[in-house]
Structure 1
């Protein structure tokens, strides 16, 4: 087989961070009209991590970013991308502060908001910078404190989401190396934006001239159509990226789907005909961590030996927007810390 020496972005480091506070289903049952059985049967989630007062998204991002840099052997990067929907402030971007706190002052840094698809979108953006020669080493962080935008009385959302961060370092390499990312499939459908939305806080609400409805500062989700769209969009996107990569479904050693809830993961895997034992999952322990979901599940699976060097991994994600994205990677031999 002819070697492929095209310039590519290669995964060379990974790191994660979760808030120390664990909130179990039984804990939620003491505050809401719910139960462990109700939550598990609908989501597969038994616990999630939640930030303590005084902690922000940048705090989680810095911890995960530092661990990813250490995993990659240290050194500087040429770009920092923070995928998040819960920045520290509406303005400025969170990424420059994260970069500065990591000792990367002067490095270009920006946020990318594609919600639960944000990490895959950020990977594609980083790959573009590397392939174009704009950067040779990029730190990509997915970090969200999504519990801060939830209605504490809404059991359907409080039960699902958790806080966390995951990061990777990508370096310039060649397309035939283990760890080379791509191809990618990305897409969106803004006609269904209202299915997952925080109505207030942006220019639409601020410029309306109408009094703020306190309920509008919280996240809202229309569960059934979200479920249908998630399964359809991730299944179609994953199939497209497999075709671009020239992989068959039987070539996939591990399937890393955005950890929305266990029922969605199972439905997507069934649609794609991925065997259950090849699906990696940690949603039961961390919930839906939004942009942190993909790096968290990859790192957890690698640490547990469920993903090993040489495994061909299919990655797919879906989130508000609506937005979705998929890619593939042959897992490299990297330091997991």
Structure 2
């Protein structure tokens, strides 16, 4: 399912000051033809082992005070443990009245979050959610030795697949799912996942291996098709990786294990992908590679955005349209699996 105001053969045109084209000369037709890398032979073994380690963690979650009450929910502070004996923070969202019928794990963009923000209201009524801040991100999960600035965080431990912080951040999401299921007894283990940008890329890496995550929405997902992404100019964390790669080309072998498009090919559950045609921070070819990598028989859906990581006149309308599509999507797929 494709939703967009752009013609398949048209190129998006926004006035901008970037020294490169954030549409990368691509039409929608071009973007829908970009493949996902196959990945290393032990890609699945690597991730399944990491997932098993995360499931062995006892998160011992603790819900704290109510910090906000709106949109039919109460929002609490929450803390939980993750791999490496690390304690992280975030928020727990519970229905104001009655029991939760649906659950969500909600990732965040690069830079973290200091408030729940637009994650609430949740996609479905009568839902609970955990909004974790992954290690090093936001004021809730600052850690000694882990950079909190996106351009530095994305390079932390990049010298090897075992030490790269992105793998640990994915584990933080799995442990957050465990924490949510412990905090809300009786909640269906069929959880929804939502992630945007950084959180979208992490979600693609997390979804294939965890049966508790029954469906996901990935918005302008990063980490897609690293071999291509490393050749494309951009701003933000992607530019930091590109610069690092120029001096350390050997990181290509590490990045193969953290390719969101490669992981997408292993996702056997419904996923709504919302990539953008124009994006200066996460090149659209990488975003669409994530969607293109999804198996066609697993219930993949596409909602094309005109722009991402960019302020434009139609942004408010675009956000509202995506919110409506998200509610419809999870209403179908979680209702079916619940």
Structure having greater relative contact order (Cα 8 Å, sep ≥ 6): 1
Which TM bucket (shorter chain)?
A: 0.3 to 0.5
Scaled by the length of structure 2, the TM-score of the pair is 0.33
**Relative to total residues, which structure has the larger strand share, 1 or 2?**
1
